[in-house]
Amino acid sequence: MNARLRDVAEHAGVSVRTVSNVVNGFRYVAPDTRTRVQASIDELGYRPNLAARTLRHSRTGLIALVVPEIDSPYFAELAARTVRIAQHRGLTVLIDQTDGDFERERLLLHGKRGQLVDGVLFSPWAVAPADLAARTDTVPLVLLGEHDGPAPVDHVAIDNVAAAREATRHLLATGRRRIAVIGVQPRTLNASARQRLAGYRQELEAFGLAPVVDRERPVRRLHRSDGYQAMLELLDSETPDAVFCFTDQLALGAMRALAERGLSVPDDVAIVGFDDIEDGRYSVPALTTVSPDKDQIASLALDALAAQGKPPRSIIAPHELIVRATT
Amino acid sequence: MNARLRDVAEHAGVSVRTVSNVVNGFRYVAPDTRTRVQASIDELGYRPNLAARTLRHSRTGLIALVVPEIDSPYFAELAARTVRIAQHRGLTVLIDQTDGDFERERLLLHGKRGQLVDGVLFSPWAVAPADLAARTDTVPLVLLGEHDGPAPVDHVAIDNVAAAREATRHLLATGRRRIAVIGVQPRTLNASARQRLAGYRQELEAFGLAPVVDRERPVRRLHRSDGYQAMLELLDSETPDAVFCFTDQLALGAMRALAERGLSVPDDVAIVGFDDIEDGRYSVPALTTVSPDKDQIASLALDALAAQGKPPRSIIAPHELIVRATT
DNA sequence: ATGAAAGCGCTAACAC
DNA sequence: GTGTTAGCGCTTTCAT
């Protein structure tokens, strides 16, 4: 068994109170008492028991980051930044992976974690705003990414409509007219996808072009294979001169399909992605993409968590279009 | 404040013991008592306090996965699998990111986490076996990845020497003779890199070829940019006809450099990577690579954690060479 | 500046 | 089948 506060106290010949004071850096401890206690601590290898502390303070210093999949590059990069920023603030991040499973997401929302964490950063995939509203758990919650409909929770996202318009405008500006999109979500789950689609349509319309239904390709998930598949389907009907993919992963999959069909990027088909994951910076050719400011997202979300209690806010993080070699 | 066991007990008109029994699915509870208690639980929105439970049981159900960077695809994929498998075993994974910082790794080893976690899966970057031996913390530890020198801890890794030999042999079998490597670590930190280098040399030697010092390129880190840089340097002296990269990320960076110089893969230069990350499956051309069985690694590591107490073992996980389009 | 002791919420040994 | 209660390790009020 590990040494307890009392063991140290006995060893040093003082009371537990004094040891506690030393451990917590309390000011009023006689210097030599402090030295003696510290020596006992070292000798016994004492480590404070976090569970007991938590029970006392009813706060754990732990926050949960809930994502569909941690090995999806966007989430991996977001997680890395979140962990780093949280560390700076004295917080530890516990990562939960739902695999996009509705039941797991619901469980998490309703406090499966018990009082283990002080707050939850939640990137939903399957649950809808209504589920959020029905939440019974009381731990502070901040939503990551778009969601629509009124839900009584803070959320941090970029302006997806504006970002999609910029991406589309850029494609139009480089002379493309047959612009397709890949990444429409079949079920109405994914608000980000819906907003990106809306932005794309708006910009087309503003330019005087009518949307073509066959150019709006749905995908089941947002993996490379889905982008690959969707691109092949797109090529079966008509070859577009540009494709706006709702994630970089989809874009990379699409590029692979183009390469296999012997089509050149960007000469035959221009590609724009979304997320600015590292792979896109090193793909051949390098991927033009919408870059959400992930540091800001993490940072703002952590702020929102800390500021809970105030009325729920909708926080917009910055983004920018990064033009590389695919356009 | 949240409802406590006692609140539920009072509300249902029973003792805490009975409520505890219901919560924990104890058998001997009268059916109607159970129903009544359950109703109170739901009504009050009771959730067990994990801290109190932990204090009682002195086990948290939490394990830490310590990696240099969670957004490095290999670690992201390993983490995803570890989280998934741990979930199956009723364990929650807390992810710690050290950024390869020696001090942070040291702190973690010496129990910074207090009694927060029941075990640690540690993928070291900066600390050496000697540091491990000097460990004072008592939580079970399993090392992920190669390390050499005797350290009194379990570790799970693939056979890096054999894997490197297979990769090299494959390159030789396809007629390549000027085979370079990218990924040598300047300081002797990284045991995996050293073993891969050893395997490469052994195979060359077995084939009757002498190693050429200029073809063994060092890198500082294992990112794409390092691979890119190293490849450019390699091309400045002599163009090899094949490159064995010690990670897929290095390989992808190298491929980008080759593309920029107008060299074709695999016609001019064949490439083999290591790790089998998803990006490599979708790169153009798709990357030949050594694939460590990540599920097995995660699973064996969790087993080892559970089996602690026995003398430290060195556990070998399987791997295989996956031939794709770059060779 | 230090000691004594209550209590955070839960579990389980011991009653009945 | 259910009630009572000690105690997990820590912090902190109250007392000295």
Q: Are residues B40 and B66 in the same domain?
A: no
> In this complex, do A71 and B92 lie within 8 Å of one another by their Cβ atoms?
no
> pLDDT at position A33, please?
87
All residues of chain B having their beta carbon less than 8 Å from the beta carbon of residue A115 are: 2, 47, 49-51
- Tell me the shortest Cα–Cα distance from B112 to chain A, in angstroms: 8
Residues 64-123 of B with CB under 8 A from A: 69-71, 73, 76-77, 79-80, 83-84, 87, 92-97, 99, 111, 113-116
Judged by a CB distance cut-off of 8 A, whether residue A135 touches chain B is no
For residues B34 and A42, the answer to whether their CB atoms sit within 8 Å is: no
Q: Are residues B172 and B287 in the same domain?
A: yes
Nucleotide nearest to A37 (CA to C1'): C2
Looking at per-residue confidence, does A176 or A283 come out higher?
A: A176
Alpha-carbon distance A67 to A143, whole Å?
A: 11
Looking at per-residue confidence, does A284 or A234 come out higher?
A: A234
Of B48, B60, B76, the CB nearest to A71: B76
Q: Which amino acid does the sequence have at B197?
A: L
Give, as ranges, the nucleotides of chain C with any atom within 7 Å of a protein CB: 1-5, 7-13
Alpha-carbon distance A294 to A73, whole Å?
A: 12
Q: Are residues B133 and B252 in the same domain?
A: no
> In this complex, do A115 and B47 lie within 8 Å of one another by their Cβ atoms?
yes
Is residue A95, in this structure, part of any structural domain at all?
yes
Is residue B283, in this structure, part of any structural domain at all?
yes
Q: Which two tokens stand for residue B193?
A: 């890199």
Cis amide prior to B285 (ω within 30 degrees): yes
Whether this prediction's pTM lies above 0.85 is answered by yes
Q: Are residues A170 and A257 in the same domain?
A: yes
Nearest CA to A79 among A89, A69, A109, B127?
A69
Is residue A322, in this structure, part of any structural domain at all?
no
DSSP assignment letter at B119: E
Nucleotide nearest to B51 (CA to C1'): C9
Alpha-carbon distance B51 to A275, whole Å?
A: 38
Calculate mean pLDDT across residues A190-202. Answer: 93
Helix (H, G, I), strand (E, B) or coil at A306: helix
> pLDDT at position B258, please?
96
Q: Which two tokens stand for residue A256?
A: 């692979």
- Tell me the shortest Cα–Cα distance from A71 to chain B, in angstroms: 5
Cis amide prior to A285 (ω within 30 degrees): yes
> pLDDT at position B199, please?
97
> pLDDT at position A188, please?
56
Judged by a CB distance cut-off of 8 A, whether residue A263 touches chain B is no
Domain with A194 in it: what CATH number?
A: 3.40.50.2300
> In this complex, do A50 and B111 lie within 8 Å of one another by their Cβ atoms?
no
Domain tally for chain A?
Answer: 3
Q: Are residues B141 and B219 in the same domain?
A: no
Alpha-carbon distance A80 to A8, whole Å?
A: 38
For residues A199 and A163, the answer to whether their CB atoms sit within 8 Å is: yes
For residues B62 and B92, the answer to whether their CB atoms sit within 8 Å is: yes
As beta bridge partners, residue A155 has A143, A314
DSSP assignment letter at A234: H
CB-count exposure of residue B171 (10 Å: 0-12, 13-18, 19+): buried
Is residue B132, in this structure, part of any structural domain at all?
yes
Least confident among A164-178, A185-199, B152-166: A185-199
Q: Are residues B27 and B74 in the same domain?
A: no
Q: Are residues B281 and B187 in the same domain?
A: yes
CB-count exposure of residue A124 (10 Å: 0-12, 13-18, 19+): buried
Alpha-carbon distance B51 to B48, whole Å?
A: 9
Q: Are residues A257 and A303 in the same domain?
A: no
Q: Are residues A148 and A171 in the same domain?
A: no
How do residues A101-149 score in pLDDT, each as one tens digit? 888 888 888 877 777 889 999 998 888 877 887 887 878 899 998 877 7
Cis amide prior to A312 (ω within 30 degrees): no
Is residue A277, in this structure, part of any structural domain at all?
yes
Nearest CA to B206 among B243, B162, B241?
B162
Judged by a CB distance cut-off of 8 A, whether residue B7 touches chain A is no
Is residue A321, in this structure, part of any structural domain at all?
no
Calculate mean pLDDT across residues A5-21. Answer: 89
Nearest CA to B306 among B61, B79, B137, B115?
B61
Q: Which two tokens stand for residue B309?
A: 């107490």
All residues of chain A having their beta carbon less than 8 Å from the beta carbon of residue B278 are: 71, 224
Nearest CA to B119 among B67, B187, B59, B75?
B59
CA nearest to nucleotide D2 C1': residue: B18
Alpha-carbon distance A105 to B67, whole Å?
A: 26
pLDDT tens for the 327 residues of chain B, in order: 688 888 899 889 998 999 998 888 877 788 888 888 888 888 888 888 888 988 888 888 889 999 999 999 999 999 999 999 998 998 888 888 999 888 888 888 887 777 788 999 999 988 887 788 788 787 899 999 887 777 788 999 999 999 999 999 999 999 999 999 999 987 656 789 999 999 999 999 999 999 999 999 999 999 999 999 999 999 999 899 999 999 999 999 999 999 999 999 999 999 999 999 999 998 889 999 999 999 999 999 999 999 887 788 899 999 999 999 999
Alpha-carbon distance B191 to A3, whole Å?
A: 35
Is residue A197, in this structure, part of any structural domain at all?
yes
Calculate mean pLDDT across residues A202-212. Answer: 96
CB atoms within 10 A of CB B312: 16
Length of chain B: 327
How do residues A37-86 score in pLDDT, each as one tens digit? 888 888 888 888 888 988 888 888 889 999 999 999 999 999 999 999 99
Q: Which helix (H) or strand (E) holds A288?
A: strand A288-292
Calculate mean pLDDT across residues A204-216. Answer: 95
Q: Are residues B195 and B287 in the same domain?
A: yes
Q: Are residues A256 and A267 in the same domain?
A: yes
What is chain A's mean pLDDT, rounded?
A: 91
List the single best residue of B282, B283, B295 to mutate versus A (max A Cβ within 10 A).
B282
> pLDDT at position A1, please?
62
Is residue A326, in this structure, part of any structural domain at all?
no
CA nearest to nucleotide D12 C1': residue: A17
Alpha-carbon distance B197 to B177, whole Å?
A: 16
> pLDDT at position B27, please?
72
The residue range of the domain holding B199 is 160-292
> In this complex, do A50 and B113 lie within 8 Å of one another by their Cβ atoms?
yes
Looking at per-residue confidence, does B297 or A30 come out higher?
A: B297
For residues B70 and B76, the answer to whether their CB atoms sit within 8 Å is: yes
Q: Are residues B288 and B298 in the same domain?
A: no
Task: Calculate Rg over the CA atoms of chain B.
Answer: 25
**Edge-to-edge strands, sheet with B242-245:** B216-218, B179-184, B242-245, B270-274, B288-292, B319-322
